Structure 1
Amino acid sequence: MEDTVRAFEEGNAEAIAFVGETLGPLFLQDPKTGDAGAALQALADLEVVAAAAEWPFAEEAEVLSDLGLMKEGLAPGIDNEDLVWEYRRLFIGPGPKPMPPWGSVYLDRECVVFGTSTLALRAWMREQGIERLADDKTPEDHLGLMLVLMAWIARNRPEVLDDYLRLHLLTWSEHFLDGLAKAAQHPFYEGLARLTNASLEGIRRDRALEVVYPRFYR
């Protein structure tokens, strides 16, 4: 019985890691200058119906729609200027970003980067002995970094995964991703936001997590 439970937990953790590793870099990497070219090409070549049937946690119909949007957005090419400029409009600037990808922008009263929620995540990581997975120039609560960290924790520190999700990621991810889906002017990023949101909500349900949602200041 214990072996069965352990195998189930390992399979669940692997599925969570898959979600984080697949989606996280797409929020972090510029399609033209970043390292996501192989991932973008794989999505462009994807058999959407087959992939939707295998995608974990989210409902198949939702995944089918979201992956369809992403593939539609990649049809002109993975380095198409519309895709590149939409990424930069959403996540880089220099103009005002419609939905900045950092949690503290929504959770901190001052709506600032490196706010109190960022410091709380940093302190939690330090308490758990978890090191940053990237350089120290990007706040730890960037949605892309947090998805990649979710994958790392699922594989390496599964005993603290629920606390990470409940206290740090799921508190703001739905708010951000809902807004991002509405703000996106390109099907790839609308689909990415929707698929990420559906996947994280599915993980929350699967793990029966009770999340206390804070006040959002933006």
Structure 2
Amino acid sequence: MHEKLKQDDFRGRVAFVGETLGPLFLQDPVKGDAQTVFAAIADLDPLQAGCEWPFVDDASAQRLLGLMVEGLGKGIDDDALVWEYRRLFVGPAKKPAPPWGSVYTDRECVVFGESTLALRRWMRENGIERTTDEKTPEDHIGLMLVLLAWLAANKSELIEPYLQDHVLTWSSHFLDQLAEAAEHPFYEGLALLAKESLEGLQRELDLEVAYPRYYR
């Protein structure tokens, strides 16, 4: 029973990270289902919430949640916040840090590169249905965090290979670039909190990752 409780606690922490952070990469603050997540972040006490954030040491979590709360200080419909999301993730201008894995790991720096197709094959082999249309690459960081949460709830035995082979291979590299490119405290904090959460999860699971060459 004690071991089951530990496993349930671990799965719950993994699901929390994916469910909380994933939507913040996928939607701007004034559209879609992510509004409730943005509002919940805005109401946080960073000092208290940082002590409870999974896989990240308290001081780092407090600092990064503090950046995110600061960035939401003018409301989730603040023009600067909305436009920063669109600058980073939508365009039409060239994105300073594209959110797809194959942009960094494919020699041609393209979406739908080999790493995208490898993830698609892995999902198919493990009976994981796509939640997006065929035109949306599966290796968008937001989608991958949401999938991490889904695995925690439904196929927890796949968490390790998913992280080891498909997420951690590029996530820190990308999230460092995103934090550097961000011109708004919310998205700088989001990028670094996601990075530290995934790296903390890597340490907890003691995962050895074969890092590829990065082309961007």
State the TM-score bracket (shorter-chain normalisation): over 0.9
**What does 1:1-218 correspond to in 2, within 5 Å?**
3-218=1-216
Identity of aligned residues (%): 62
Q: Which amino acid aligns with 2:92?
A: P
In 2, Cα distance between the equivalents of 1:35 and 1:213?
34
In 2, Cα distance between the equivalents of 1:7 and 1:42?
27
Q: Which amino acid aligns with 2:85?
A: Y
* Deviation at residue 138 of structure 1 after TM alignment: 1.7
Unaligned runs of 5+ in 2: none
* Deviation at residue 9 of structure 1 after TM alignment: 1.4
Q: Which amino acid aligns with 1:188?
A: F
Which stretch shifts more, 34-43 or 190-199?
34-43
Q: Which amino acid aligns with 1:38?
A: T
CA-to-aligned-CA distance 1:176-209 (integer Å, 9 cap, x gap): 0011011100000000001001100000000111
Q: Is the 8 A contact 1:133 1:149 kept in 2?
A: no
In 2, Cα distance between the equivalents of 1:106 and 1:116?
11
Q: Which amino acid aligns with 1:46?
A: L
In 2, Cα distance between the equivalents of 1:63 and 1:135?
34
| Aligned-residue RMSD, C-alpha | 0.9
CA-to-aligned-CA distance 1:132-171 (integer Å, 9 cap, x gap): 1333332100000000000001111011110000000010
CA-to-aligned-CA distance 1:36-63 (integer Å, 9 cap, x gap): 1111111111111111111111011000
CA-to-aligned-CA distance 1:15-71 (integer Å, 9 cap, x gap): 000000000000001222232111111111111111111111101100011000000
State the number of aligned residues.
Answer: 216
In 2, Cα distance between the equivalents of 1:213 and 1:193?
19
TM-score (norm 2): 0.98
Unaligned runs of 5+ in 1: none
* Deviation at residue 7 of structure 1 after TM alignment: 1.7
TM-score (norm 1): 0.97
Runs of 4+ in 1 over 6 A off after TM superposition: none
